[in-house]
Chains A and B, each alone.
Chain A
Amino acid sequence: MRRPAIGNLWLTPFAILVVLFLLAPVFVVIPMSFSDSNYLQFPPQVWSLRWYHSYFDAAEWMAATRTSLLAASCTVLLATPIGFLSAFAIRNMRGKAAAVLFGFLLLPQVVPVILLAIGVFFIYIRLRIVDSFLGIVLAHTALAVPFVVTTVSAGLKRFDFSLDQAARSLGASRFRAIFDVMLPQIRLSLFAGAIFAFVTSLDEVVVSLFIAGGDNTVLTRKMFLALRDQVDPTIAAISTLLIVVSVIAVGVFMLAVQRDNRRREENI
């Protein structure tokens, strides 16, 4: 048991307040989405599903949702292998080159997103892919790659490369060694990277604002534009669904971690 160095008489209530502050949005948005009122009263006086109806019955919201989910899925399918290959290369590089490449691949996280957005917009105008699905997926994949590189690099750090060498000295091709020996060992990091990639694409707003309009409007862009005009309760319903998607994604990951731990214990 770790003992605090200073008295925590005030620390416990303080931490409770901070946790309440952190959870406040979730506690407010979810009940609000089941309100019957046009005005955002809290707590709601009369409960109803009307804002869910106004979401699910609106063709525009549905189209935007489809585009978002499709783009997020494509982003996962592209960013995960690309991020893995990059992390694999970094792990096998010597000295400074590895650090430089790692730093470069993390750039999309450090450079303010508005700069990436106008840069991408600028080049998309020339390539004539503004408002195209391909354009959205390319941009989102680039934004997601840093997350995959980070998580997979962490996984590879723990991977014992002598296993890889053992497999290859026993006659496995490099390809088989990676697929049958390495990937099973780092699958949780890959999974975490894939979830990050999905959520990055699904939640992205600023770049989409410039390049994801017209027929390929994505959900967050439509939400943002709706919110700029007025506080529409339909957004509460959509927000609740987005929270549920995040919770499910993280929950599934936690279950996978747990199952993995159990299997490891059984193997010992």
Chain B
Amino acid sequence: MAIAGKSHGVRIWPLAAPGIALVSFVVLPFLWLGGLSFIAGGEISLANYTRMIENSSYQAIILRTLQLSAIVTLVVIVIGYPTAYYINTRSRIAATFLLGCVAIPFWTSLLVRTYAWMVILQRNGIVNGWLQDLGLIERPLRLSNSFLGTSVGMIHIMLPFFIFPLYSAMKQIDMDLVRAARGLGASRTNAFWQIFVPLSGPGLFAGSLLTFVLCLGFYVTPQLLGGGNVTVISMKIQENITNYSDWGAASALGVVLLVIVGVLLFGASRLGARLGAQ
């Protein structure tokens, strides 16, 4: 007996044709551009790529993007893991309330949140005001228009993306296992680190990977909170097109970005398959 209505006689995939067409419509043009990036002066060449290697600013931008994404991901893990864990230990009502608090920024537009951090972190902003009132600093710190400000904004934007999936992964964990370990004489700390944390491993890994990959593509937040002092790959791509109409350079850099993302996701899925097989 075919389950789930799989007995439909006709081929079903044409129903998905409009979706496939639309997605192709936005995804394929970049692949076309990526192909064109290997052509310079009318013939196949790596000129767009050698230019990137010769120009040290490109390497700096790529490294900067990786560094920013790594720092943001690390902080998101350090802040998000205990938070998800805490929500998981609360009663249903408290957990719902806390999840609601995580959902509010999740549903708030990225642009609005970036703007809010510009206001909070600006020279005469709230944080500088407080620090001065407390006598901790004499002159305002440069919090916005900086790497620090960009990181704070991105951490804020990524936290819900990390907490939600991690929380639902933690919810699946059988807490009896932790209790059993305690009953068998493990200390609270040991039960947590040796039972709970490994069980939450897949959720933690997936959440961290998602965070890192999404960070690599950020444009709005570094542009506005970086104030010209932080240049990431996306910004350089935009600049190449808007200011110089240099499609070759923009596409080549885009291919580099896509390859980084692709390698990470592919590597992760292979790793996941191998771990799953064990």
Query: Chain A interface (Cβ within 8 Å of chain B)?
Result: 1-8, 11-12, 14-15, 18-19, 21-26, 28-29, 32, 39-42, 82-83, 85-86, 88-94, 97, 101, 104-105, 107-108, 110-123, 138-139, 141-143, 145-146, 149, 161, 164-165, 174, 199, 202-203, 205-206, 209-210, 220, 223-224, 227-228, 231, 235-236, 239, 242-243, 246-247, 249-250
Contact = CB atoms under 8 A, between A and B. Distances in A.
Contacts of A239: 109, 112, 115-116
A3 B26 contact: no
A250 B102 CA distance: 13
Given A15-B86, A93-B12, A236-B119, A116 B112 contact: no
Nearest to B234: A114
B18 A85 contact: yes
Interface stretch (B40-48, B56-64, B131-139, B215-223): B215-223
Interface string B183-210: 0000011011001100000000000000
Contacts of B258: 111-112, 115
Given A92-B4, A142-B26, A199 B247 contact: no
A25 B30 contact: no
10 contacts: A25-B156, A86-B19, A112-B216, A116-B27, A118-B254, A119-B31, A119-B32, A122-B33, A165-B5, A239-B112
B87 A112 contact: no
Interface in B94-137: 98, 101-105, 107-120, 122, 124-126, 129
A15 B108 contact: no
Contacts of A111: 27, 30, 217, 258, 261
B263 interface: no
A203 B19 contact: no
A42 B238 CA distance: 34
A5 B173 CA distance: 12
A227 B213 contact: no
A108 B159 CA distance: 21
